[in-house]
Structure 1
Amino acid sequence: MPPTPPTTQAVARRRAAYLSELARGTDRFHEPRRPDCPWCGSRRLRTRLRTPDLLQHKPGTFVVDECEDCAHAFQNPRLTAEGLAFYYRDFHEGQDARAENETFAERILRARAGRRRHEAAARSMLPFPEPESWLDVGTGHGHFPAAAKEVHTYTSFDGLDATSRVDGARAAGRVEEAHRGRLPELAGRLRARYDVVSMFHHLEHSPDPREELRAALTVLRPGGHLLVEVPDPDCAFGALLGKWWVSYCQPQHLHLMPLRNLLGELDELGCTVVSTDRREPHVPYDLTGALALAIGNRLPGGDEPWRPAPPSDLQRTLRTALTRATTPLLASAIVLDHALAPVLRRTRFSNAYRIIARRNARTPTR
């Protein structure tokens, strides 16, 4: 018999641990359902979405509720810290080890972090004074700071991330200092240290976006700028594609915040909003992502440790054949997404927005 590939051996070792966890059920991964909106406190809620994990296919069902007063959308019931750890496991930290099993939809989600997009986001700060220091929150492997350095050549970039990826970013020279943990927990020792704090598709992952914003203002110097990009829940693709809209990204996205809500919060915090943009942050991947999710959820399962058993040889062969067969269809969807992008980003189909806000001298901090 040929030797078992190392990745298969690693999956087999982790399967027993996963199955032991899952034997206790997934309900314990959820907090009690809350009856009110976490943003405005209204009790007028409606269910916007109910879906399984369409990305990794881990067991569980997730609900996104929407407030009928302020339109804030949020996961309800929300995952506990233990639940977040369970559903994030093997998504980032084990990325290299599970590259063979990574779904096309996961790769589509990562496509929003392309170098050209990073450089375009960095250029949005060119109208303002050249920053001396910049903190990128949720930096991951540090690809944004590496690209932004080409635009802001005299700026020192640091990275902050809850995972060990930020240590790799420092080792690779993409960031000068690596801060591992959550921003609200680290803000005290980073107080008034940075001219710019960026959060690209980070707030939607946070259990408490308001806490993250206050912490960001704490580490900003007076006159410094906060740069935020998040998915736009008002995007028409959300209603058109339903659970297949990749920006729902359950169970990882805990909050989807309308632009007006974030603008109101920044005003409450005493910031001056100097720029908003719904065009450039649009990521042309909605149709491709929806198609990839739909295909991925109809293929035979891959060799993931949370599945009861590894796939048979027939299932592996069938999965490979069907994946190859659908590649031209997905390639056509990519072309269509990019062809439509110049028009869609000017309409309600734009799927993200950007805010740049200045911390005023009297802005309160934590």
Structure 2
Amino acid sequence: MSEPGKNAERIAALRPAYRADLAGGTDRFFGTRSTACPWCGSARLAVRLRTTDLLQHKPGHFTLDRCADCGHVFQNPRLTPEGLDFYYRDFYDGLGEQRMSGTFGGRTAMYRGRAEAMAPHDPTPKNWLDVGTGHGHFCEAARAVLPGTTFDGLDFTDGVELAAREGRVAHAYRGAFPDLAPELAARYDVVSMFHYLEHSTDPERELRAAHEVVRPGGHLLIEVPDPESRYARLLGRWWLPWLQPQHLHFVPVANLRQRLTALGFTVVAEQHAEPHDPVDLLAAVWLALDHAAPREDAPWLPEPPGALRRAARTALLLAGIPALLTATLLDRLAIRPLAEPLGLSNAYRLVARRE
């Protein structure tokens, strides 16, 4: 059977379970709306963004609030455990595993840059734990930069076990980082969290776990989306790093620096240009096209789209190719060199030493 045929069979097999999940609507996927900022406790909250799931197109509406006192942006109401399970399912694993593995596997230059960020502070770490490692592609690429370093991976999905089987990590830890931290106490020269903290239900608990696992004198390396990027305002809901409903917290850099200091870290480096991923305009055009086009088949849809809808989708996406190409050129050639001075960097990176 052809690959499209196999995929259609997998989708059909999953459809009854999704239909049962959605039979009672989506209310159970959301908790109670918070009246206080989870970062500073302030009650001065305002809606920052309302949007839908622009990647998987699963049903539901999501709101991000911003704290007027500290600038923290967070999903409100937040997803319940049932909601997290529903919206993560078939994104990184299942139906989405092959696509996401290809996406993450092709970013070797970015991964090497992340490893090189540690060189001025510890050029020869003996061991490194990558939290939220996914399929371990960062660890595989980083070994070329730091051949004497042992890379372990931690994640709550089965991707980390795949990473161990493929030899990308030396040891795989599966589970929640705060729960596993006591058995890993003071074990690692470096702990990294690359685009992990924004997925956490409790970022401060994750930071405390990192402080426990990093040995004294070791380093914590964090990279997260920058909610203060001008692109976040200019592109609105089409700014890819909002990534609703998966991203629960967006921490301004000043907030993260303060919290790390309070926990006993010293921030030794802050980077904005280096972690910028030049895809903002391309992603915005793609998200808008994909949103406007008829849906492709997915198990959370009541039924597969017919031939006419599939043809209409193909025609619209083909018509959008010139816009996609233009956006790519602007991202990589025109805006990338100016991203930091123009305040357009979509991420920031901190290196912090545990005292």
What TM-score do the two structures reach when normalised by structure 1?
0.93
Task: Give, as a single letter, the amino acid of the residue that structure 1 aligns with 2:114.
Answer: A
Deviations 1:239-276 (A, max 9, x none): 11111111111000000000000000001101111111
Given the superposition, is the C-alpha separation of residues 3 and 160 from structure 1 closer, same or farther in structure 2, using an over 3 Å criterion? closer
Secondary structure of 1:186's counterpart equals helix
Report what 2:349 is aligned to.
Answer: 354
Specify every segment of 5 or more residues in structure 2 that has no aligned partner in the other structure, as ranges.
none
1:320 Cα deviation from its structure 2 partner: 2.5
Change (3 A) 1:296 1:26: same
Deviates more, 1:4-13 or 1:52-61: 4-13
The runs of 5 or more residues in structure 1 that have no matched partner are: 361-366
Q: 1:120/1:168 Cα in 2 relative to 1: closer, same or farther (>3 Å)?
A: same
Q: Give 2:310's aligned residue.
A: 316
AA partner of residue 92 (structure 1): Y
Residue matched to 1:117: 110
- Judge conservation of contact 2:64–2:73 (CA < 8 Å) in 1: yes
Within 1, Cα distance between the matches of 2:299 and 2:9? Answer: 10
CA distance in 1: counterparts of 2:332 and 2:109, whole angstroms: 14
Q: Which of residues 127, 139, 142 in structure 2 aligns to 1:148?
A: 142
Q: What's the offset of the Cα at 1:322?
A: 2.7
1:35-184 alignment, distance < 5 Å: 35-95=35-95, 99=99, 110=103, 114-129=107-122, 130-184=124-178
Counterparts of 2:165 and 2:142 in 1: how far apart (Å)? 18
How far the C-alpha of 1:20 sits from its partner, in A, is 1.2
SS of the residue aligned with 1:225?
Answer: strand
CA distance in 2, matches of 1:73, 1:233: 7
Shift of residue 114, structure 1, vs aligned partner: 1.1
> In structure 2, the residue corresponding to 1:149 is in which secondary structure?
helix
> Is 1:289 matched with 2:279?
no
Equivalent pair of 2:156/2:174 in contact (CA under 8 Å): yes
Paired AA for residue 174 in structure 2: R
Relative to 1, partners in 2 of residues 1:145 and 1:208: Cα closer, same or farther, differing over 3 Å?
same
Give the distance between the partners of 1:111 and 1:162, measured in 2 at CA.
17
* Corresponding residue of 1:364: none
- Tell me the CA shift for residue 111 of structure 1: 6.4
For residues 262 and 20 of structure 1, do their structure 2 counterparts lie closer, same or farther at Cα, with a shift above 3 Å needed? same
Superposition CA RMSD, Å: 1.9
1:289-330 Cα offsets, whole Å, 9 max, x none, are 111110000111111000111010122222233323323321
- Residue 264 (structure 2) pairs with residue 274 (structure 1): no
Counterpart in the other structure of 1:229:
223
Retained in 2: the 8 A contact 1:112–1:283? Answer: no
Deviates more, 1:325-334 or 1:19-28: 325-334
Equivalent residue letter for 1:290: A
When residues 280 and 214 of structure 1 are mapped into structure 2, their CA distance, relative to the original with a 3 A threshold, is same
Structure 2 Cα separation of the partners of residues 157 and 7 of structure 1: 34
> Once the 2 structures are TM-superposed, how far is the Cα of residue 347 of structure 1 from its aligned partner?
2.5
Aligned AA (2:73): A
CA distance in 1 between counterparts of 2:299 and 2:321 reads: 26
- CA spacing shift, 1:61–1:4, aligned 2, 3 Å: closer
Find the aligned partners of 1:197 and 1:98 in 2 and give their Cα distance.
27
- 1: CA distance between counterparts of 2:264 and 2:104? 35
Aligned to 1:10: 10
Q: Distance in 1 between matches of 2:74 and 2:329?
A: 32
Match of 2:246 among 252, 271, 278: 252
Per the alignment, residue 20 of structure 1 pairs with: 20
AA aligned to 2:346 is N
CA contact (8 A) 1:132 1:156 kept: yes
Q: Confirm whether residue 332 of structure 1 aligns to residue 326 of structure 2.
A: yes
Q: Secondary structure at the match of 2:144?
A: coil
TM-score with structure 2 length normalisation? 0.95
- Residue 128 of structure 1 deviates from its aligned partner by 2.4
* 2:157 counterpart letter in structure 1: T
**CA gap 1:335/1:111 in 2 versus in 1, 3 angstroms:** farther
Structure 2 distance, partners of 1:285, 1:111, is 14
Using a 3 Å threshold, how does the CA distance of structure 1 residues 195 and 4 change in structure 2: closer, same or farther? Answer: closer
Whether the 8 Å CA contact 1:140–1:166 is kept in 2: the answer is yes
Contact 2:132 2:193 in 1 (8 A): yes
Is the deviation greater in 3-12 or in 228-237?
3-12
Query: d(CA) in 2 for partners of 1:269 and 1:3?
Result: 50
Q: 1:4 to 1:55 in 2, by over 3 A?
A: closer
Percent identity at matched positions? 52
Q: Which residue in 2 is equivalent to 1:363?
A: none
Count of residues in correspondence between the two structures:
352
SS in 1 for 2:299: coil
